[in-house]
Amino acid sequence: MDCPHCKTKNTQVENSRETKGGSAIWRRRKCMKCKKVFSTYESPGLDYLIIEKRNGKHTRYLSHKLFASIYDAVSEGKHKDRGDSAMLAHEVLGIIEQQMLVSQKESIKATEIIDMATDTLETRDLGACYRYAAFAPYRGMKFGI
């Protein structure tokens, strides 16, 4: 790991633990050259994951697309603060990505991701769950939208 202060590669892990939810590992590192301390967050990537769309096409998983759709649903509610909406969207995204990692699948259907998103939103913000389902025709049928 390169030190962000002096750019040397000689760093040592001082402390390490899982973050809330277990989706990432926090590490406190110390540079052996300049002696400055810094933190890193490490999380497994889902670059390998292939999404099977309803039309039969396949595409790579891009977390920013899922985040954007969740954020749109969460931020539309009345009296919503953008910062709070972003935090909730990140929390929901983390839960969904953790479920995808645990499943150990190399490909996943888009409808499965929609199910995970609505199930997670349903317990956190019911209005956002309905707004998310309204833009997902597959899931909207289940909610009667």
Rounded-to-integer distance, Cα 114 and Cα 76, Å: 18
When mean pLDDT is compared across 53-62, 100-109, 118-127, 129-138, the lowest value belongs to 129-138
* pLDDT tens-place string over residues 51-100: 999 889 999 999 999 999 999 999 987 667 777 899 999 999 989 998 99
CA 120 distance to own-chain centroid? 12
Query: DSSP for 12-76?
Result: EEEEEEEPGGGSSEEEEEEETTT--EEEEEE----TT-EEE-TTS-EEE--HHHHHHHHHHHHHT
CA 69 distance to own-chain centroid? 12
Q: Select from 138, 43, 38, 145 the least CA-distant residue to 100.
A: 43
